[in-house]
Structure 1
């Protein structure tokens, strides 16, 4: 079985030579020969060779790397493999044959016009590529502190880097089973059978969090919905309705503003006071300020505890807080901080009564749960055979530093990489960092780009 400690290993001198050679090759557009030179130094390298008898049917697909998930994390990994060596075969599986389709749908449904992440975080290997694109194409700036990109600019940028690359469109396939045979991971789906040297889970498997008081009524009627189900773009018949939004993070704030803009009366209910932060984690968690101590922590439970403390639940940036205050002044919004719902009962076919921890009762037309999700690899049934011997802490798998999940060549990205990367693993920053670690482990090449 593959051992990540020695496969594709490079000495510091070899890595330095490769880095210099790669820079020249990009200039002269001679990328393909480079990894050939590096590979010859590893006599056991067979990771990019195929047996002629592997493909048995037209449904079988042979590849070096299979990535499950065509979102920002899967895109970041695919683009990085192409940058390192265009000859590396990558097959991406997703519910759609369109890159970022689920991501775009979520932003459209939540009517999110601006990202929260700074403009240097995106799927491209080049940190300043999005900023350069926005300036070159003359996209309007968001006008918000720290100049996060608009959703429109981000989507247009991603379309450009996809279209100007040689990466393939995702294959429409949902993995039904995963097994290992010899040096290959076999991924079976309704459409294809993929034979891959390496498998990367970049689909962010998760489960919604439903408060205990809402479990009995969730989906009992259409009056209680989780944020992942709400399509604000097609919700136009709520004028005059009383809507309660449960939660105090940015998703809750977006739901609240959109409902108010559509003429609803809204009450936000938060378990604690509003948390005001520019970003969901302190910028110190994106560099050595906090990460050096985090990586030095050898106690796995303490690591996860540090990551949870760093995220510290939902928060909103100051500009969003100011916007909500304006709605409060108009009398259409009431924010109930340090309150919880204790029970709910249906008082008519289309109305609920919520009982609160302070004794108040509220009659409502709809309840929107912005209570978040938690990362859960167990949500992928096909992955469960590999999870029995893995340590999980608060739902996060304990991976190695290369984000390898187990002895088999299976890697994780997104929030599942929190143990190794830190509290920002699920963000766009985490997408590029995870891609680098995994690609380095597989190819032996650690690519350093501008802005790194």
Structure 2
């Protein structure tokens, strides 16, 4: 029996694991991370590489280690002290990834890694039992659900039929590659947020054809995807006084700068436009069809356009992550949920005795930053400070 099982080995799961190990709340033989992928941070690495991210949006103090200045110290130690951008010291992606990998290797994370898909979770008299797709039963006193939202990409309604007709020519950036991606000819990107912006600047640099970015709204320029005041008491004191979870959801939705880009990224896009590498269309897609190896899109206001490849950078579905797994768990264990379907947890992020959450599942408690790296750090700090958990 394990002391801790973490379900999910992305940014959130790895941050919790690092904090548990470094704080002494767990030893290697007491901890297990279950993830469907072979290596830690697989989805993070795949998506950031695919869209061509260069610098993170978050500042240098947001990373997976326990010490706030660990990333800056790492950069200085390895002679990489100049790889931070702007006044917020946004780290170069390569530096961030190097830091993550070095840290995880130093803690021998591979010894606690279990590649599998969790198919069911049950409470027991002594804790929790987890079933996997390999017909393995695992038991733990405590379980942390660190489930990512990007396993469930959001698709525009018009995209479904087109994907059936040309699956190799219309892809969502969150999806694992199923066969060859034929990214050629006139390329279209659907989306107005930072992922779409990164992908657009990458393709402008690598394609000899014009790239088109289609979004429903003008550029929304914000350095962060929510006000930094949500990291501390400035906004959270009032937020935690709100006991109506429907109102908390409304506050979160209003606080998030959805579909926004940092100013430096916005300026890169403007440069691509000025060099006639990028066309930007702010409009609603009315109809979409596919014939003779071309996608034909018509718009509400603009002239129709033909494309040979479409990237969907349209984010994740708004439902619970891993919703089939969680729906069974919620029903069986009678777990409290808000009107929006997300967990109602206590201040220690506990959903039921011994069952904890982080990431999107913790946002009604942590607030608008919960899904971000900063939210992962806040959740990890809460979990290692639990009074009920003996060292």
Q: TM-score, normalised by structure 2?
A: 0.89
What SS does structure 2 have at the residue aligned with 1:368? strand
- Following TM superposition, the consecutive aligned residue runs of length 4 or more in structure 1 with deviations greater than 6 angstroms are none
Provide the C-alpha distance between the structure 2 equivalents of 1:281 and 1:378, rounded to a whole number of angstroms.
Answer: 21
Match of 1:396 in 2: 342
Q: Counterpart of 2:53 in 1: which secondary structure?
A: coil
Classify 1:115/1:265 alpha carbon distance in 2 versus 1 (closer, same or farther; 3 Å).
same
Distance 1:298 1:218 in 2: 43
Gap change, CA 1:384 and 1:237, over 3 Å in 2? closer
Residue among 120, 130, 133 paired with 1:177 = 120
Give the superposition deviation at 1:236: 8.2
Residue among 207, 212, 219 paired with 1:274 = 219
Which residue of structure 2 lines up, in the alignment, with residue 223 of structure 1?
Answer: 169
Of 247, 259, 262, which residue of structure 2 is paired with 1:302? 247
SS in 2 for 1:373: coil
Does the 8 Å contact 2:183/2:309 carry over to 1?
Answer: no
Q: Measure how far apart 1:401 and its partner are.
A: 2.1
How big is the alpha-carbon RMSD for the aligned residues of Structure 1 and Structure 2?
2.3
Which residue of the partner structure matches residue 9 of structure 1?
none
> What's the secondary structure of 2:260's corresponding residue?
coil
Distance 1:149 1:191, change over 3 A: farther
The 3-state SS of whatever aligns with 2:6 is: strand
Show structure 1 runs of 5+ residues with no match: 1-61, 447-452
Residues 106-159 of structure 1, C-alpha deviation per residue, up to 9 Å, x if partnerless?
Answer: 222222121111000111111111111111111141444422111111112112
SS of the residue corresponding to residue 385 of structure 2 reads helix
Aligned to 1:416: 361
2:15 to 76, 86, 99: 76
Residues 173, 192 of structure 1: 8 Å contact kept: no
Residues 96 and 170 in structure 1, CA contact (< 8 A), matched pair in contact too: no
Matches within 5 A, 1:45-60: none
Summarize deviations over 1:32-78 as a string: whole Å, max 9, x none: xxxxxxxxxxxxxxxxxxxxxxxxxxxxxx10110011122111211
Structure 1 partner of 2:51: 110
- 1:298, distance to aligned residue in structure 2 (A): 1.6
- Alignment partner of 1:369 is 2:312: yes
- For 1:86 and 1:444, the matched residues in 2 are separated by 7
User: SS where residue 289 of structure 2 aligns?
Assistant: strand
Between stretches 163-172 and 408-417, larger displacement belongs to: 163-172
Query: 1:153-232 residue pairs with structure 2 within 5 A?
Result: 153-165=95-107, 167=109, 168-189=111-132, 190=134, 192-205=136-149, 206-221=151-166, 222-229=168-175
- Alignment partners' CA distance in 1, 2:366 and 2:357: 11
Q: What SS does structure 2 have at the residue aligned with 1:177?
A: strand
Q: Superposed, which structure 2 residues align to 1:241-390 within 5 Å?
A: 241-263=185-207, 264-337=209-282, 339-348=283-292, 350-358=293-301, 360-374=303-317, 376-377=319-320, 379-388=322-331, 389=334, 390=336
In structure 2, distance between residues paired with 1:352 and 1:392? 41
1:209 Cα offset (Å): 1.1
In structure 2, distance between residues paired with 1:396 and 1:268:
33
Give the conservation status (yes or no) of the 8 Å contact 1:277–1:317: yes
Aligned counterpart, 1:94: 35
Structure-2 change in CA distance of 1:196 and 1:276 (3 Å):
same
Measure, in 2, the Cα distance between the counterparts of 1:429 and 1:404.
Answer: 19
For this pair of structures, how many residues does the alignment match?
378
Q: Which residue of 2 aligns with 1:127?
A: 68
Moved more, 283-292 or 86-95: 86-95
Assess if the C-alpha contact under 8 Å between 1:270 and 1:340 holds in 2.
yes
Query: 1: distance between equivalents of 2:275 and 2:139?
Result: 60
TM-score normalised per structure 1: 0.78
5+ residue gaps, structure 2, are none
Measured in 1, the distance between the counterparts of 2:350 and 2:165 equals 41
